[in-house]
């Protein structure tokens, strides 16, 4: 009799522990979903922001006439990163396309050095804070760069779709999950969650692939 009662207490403890662990992993899945959702929205927003400027759709369009270009590497950069990445800063005079704005202290980060007198198509993202101030921001324009940023924009949709799925179902895509993927997928199909996830991830994958492919033709 005592053995039966001990077994019953042990079973009760095991069930309580199982519910506790299951609830913890369920919260972990939703917490991970929130991280994916925030990361996806951030990547998409940043990609759209940078892409709009690189395409010349936002900011002030103009030309920067190069006075000098300097290559500088961080002191902590490895030899391989120095070989693969060239942080070049070109300084010169910016003149807006309409001729109404001039900045003699303009500077832009580019991938290669340009000779003195070279004219670079740039976009002024932020004007000087005061007359004569040398704190304006510029980016080099080009549809190849723009399409790569648009690829990042669509890539963020994939993370967003995954975040929605995990938030709605509690499924954790990493480590041990409270529920299996099959169970989570079935639960997602009871409402609009599955359609939203499929549509978001599908558009993200296709959009990112097309954007990066198109960027090579510019």
CA 76 to centroid of chain Cα atoms: 25
Model confidence over 126-150: pLDDT tens digits? 888 777 677 899 999 999 999 999 9
d(CA 208, CA 204): 6
211 and 162 inside one domain: yes
pLDDT-derived band at 28 (thresholds 50, 70, 90) equals low
Last residue of a domain, one of 81, 108, 141: 141
154 and 134 inside one domain: no
Q: Which residues pair with 102 in a beta bridge?
A: 95
Asked whether residue 104 is domain-assigned, the answer is yes
203 and 182 inside one domain: yes
Domain count, the chain: 2
Q: Are 179 and 119 in contact (CB under 8 A)?
A: no
Asked whether residue 7 is domain-assigned, the answer is no
CA 206 to centroid of chain Cα atoms: 16
Give the pLDDT score at 175.
59
Last residue of a domain, one of 123, 141, 159: 141
Question: Which domain covers residue 38, as residue numbers?
Answer: 27-53+146-215
Half-sphere exposure at residue 90, Cβ-oriented, CA atoms within 13 angstroms: 26
48 and 68 inside one domain: no
Residue 81: enclosing H or E segment and its boundaries?
A: helix 79-84
137 and 69 inside one domain: yes
The whole-model pTM stands at 0.71
Lowest pLDDT segment from 6-10, 114-118, 184-188? 6-10
């Amino acid at each position: 009799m005592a053995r039966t009662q001990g077994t019953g207490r042990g079973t009760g403890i095991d069930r309580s522990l199982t519910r506790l662990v299951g609830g913890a992993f369920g919260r972990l899945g939703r917490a991970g979903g929130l991280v994916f959702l925030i990361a996806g929205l951030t990547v998409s927003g940043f990609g759209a922001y940078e892409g709009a400027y690189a395409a010349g759709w936002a900011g002030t369009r103009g030309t920067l006439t190069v006075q000098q270009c300097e290559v500088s590497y961080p002191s902590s950069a490895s030899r391989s990163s120095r070989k693969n990445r060239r942080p070049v800063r070109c300084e010169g005079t910016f003149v807006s396309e309409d001729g109404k704005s001039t900045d003699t202290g303009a500077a832009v980060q580019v991938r290669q050095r340009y000779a003195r007198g070279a004219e670079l198509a740039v976009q002024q993202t932020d004007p000087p804070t005061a007359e004569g101030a040398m704190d304006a921001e510029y980016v080099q324009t080009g549809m190849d760069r723009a399409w790569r940023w648009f690829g990042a924009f669509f890539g963020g949709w994939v993370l967003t779709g995954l975040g929605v799925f995990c938030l709605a179902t509690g499924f954790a895509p990493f480590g041990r999950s409270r529920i299996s993927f099959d169970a989570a997928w079935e639960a997602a199909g009871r409402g609009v969650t599955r359609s939203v996830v499929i549509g978001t991830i599908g558009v993200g994958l296709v959009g990112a692939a097309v954007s990066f492919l198109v960027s090579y033709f510019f």
